[in-house]
Amino acid sequence: MTPMPFLRIRDLSVRFADREAGIFRRRFIQAIHGLDLDIHADDTFCLLGESGSGKTTLASAILGLHPFHRGRITYNGPTINGSTIKQSNDTAHKSLRADCQMVFQSPAASLNPHLTLQQSIEEPLGAKGVGKTERREAVRALAGQAGLSHDLLSRRPGEVSGGQNQRACIARALSTRPRLLVLDEPLTALDAVARQQMVTLLCRLKENFGLTYFLITHDLALARQIGTRVAVMYLGNLVEKAPAAAFFAEPRHPYARALLSSVLRPGFWQGKRIVLQGELPSLRRPPKGCVFHPRCAERLPICTHTAPRPRAVAEGHTVCCHLFGADPSGPSIREPGR
Ligand code: SF4
């Protein structure tokens, strides 16, 4: 029997009030469309997609930092219903937030520039009422786990490197003993050497602390290196989700294939290079039918007016594309040269 996921998300939809609609008209921008996700306790779950695809909005909604208007999140038993509960106060979200910490893209911006690294790391412990001596000992242990030299604890973020600041952010995140770490583009600001050291560190910490990772990234090489499961987002829609090994061996959705083909590392992509045409459309005016159809070289007539539904193509692998429907109708309308 498949174990119950650590975190189960069903039909999650998020919308924002459109500020450009004027004061007398109420209009919404749909940012996330009815997503289903299962995250298991041993996962390094990677959420992939271009900037603006909705990755960070989804993470914020999961953690209760942004309300969702429809759907359910089940964590540790209790379920949060999007339409009925004030998300910031319900029990399941409190429990999820207590068990979760975030690590952001820019470590310097995440740390208070006026505090020493020691003070930043011990801050969450102080908020929990942990005494001064105990805090100091805990910070030294956490710094050791995060590979941060004790000599650096008396320095401020501006006096150490980006990699050292990110280690301090990780030590701070671990101070409350979370079960889930949301990593939002954690390596983007680092150079190649610091990046590789950080990958090794994240793998070690996952093992030592029994952590579940929810990694938001457009770094496909990183997702391939450490991911166990992968989901790809496009304009607020989940277009493909799969075990990482199956996804990187054979991505199915045309957008996912284009993303992988854009990685220029030797050996990363064996197939033909696919150059995406045009820009990500505006959430204010999403295309009808499949939202990817204006940029898709494989679109069918049906794609311009009917949104595809997710279909299973293998165990744990679903794709949201008419090419994987029972009977994609009509011939491809691929344009010459695309
Ligand atoms: Fe392309 Fe159609 Fe599939 Fe959308 S549904 S990705 S337009 S083939």
Q: What is the pTM of this model?
A: 0.88
SS3 278: coil
Q: Is the CB of 303 under 6 A from ligand 1?
A: yes
Distance (Å) from CA 241 to ligand 1 centroid:
16
Per-residue pLDDT, 220: 93
Average pLDDT of the chain is 87
- Torsion of Cα atoms, 79 then 186 then 253 then 228, to 10°: -70
Q: C-alpha 176: how far from its chain's center?
A: 21
Distance (Å) from CA 70 to ligand 1 centroid:
26
More confident residue, 178 or 270: 178
Asked if 168 and 148 touch (Cβ cutoff 8 Å), the reply is yes
Q: pLDDT digits over 196-241, tens only?
A: 999 999 999 999 999 999 999 989 999 999 999 999 999 999 999 9
Q: Measured between alpha carbons, how far is 148 from 165 in angstroms, rounded to an integer?
A: 9
Check pLDDT > 50 for residue 337. no
Confidence of residue 27 (pLDDT cuts 50, 70, 90): confident
Q: Which of 75-84, 89-98, 140-149, 175-184 has the lowest mean pLDDT?
A: 75-84
Check pLDDT > 60 for residue 338. no
Closest ligand 1 atom to residue 291 Cα is 4
Check pLDDT > 90 for residue 302. yes
Per-residue pLDDT, 321: 97
Per-residue pLDDT, 179: 93
Confidence of residue 333 (pLDDT cuts 50, 70, 90): very low
Q: Is the CB of 224 under 6 A from ligand 1?
A: no
Check pLDDT > 70 for residue 181. yes
DSSP state letters, 69-92: SEEEEEESS-EEETTTS-GGGSHH
Count Cβ atoms within 10 A of the Cβ of residue 200 and give its class: 0-12 exposed, 13-18 middle, 19 or more buried.
exposed
Closest ligand 1 atom to residue 322 Cα is 5
Residues 160-169 have a mean pLDDT of 93
Per-residue pLDDT, 197: 92
Q: Is the CB of 300 under 6 A from ligand 1?
A: yes
Asked if 185 and 219 touch (Cβ cutoff 8 Å), the reply is yes
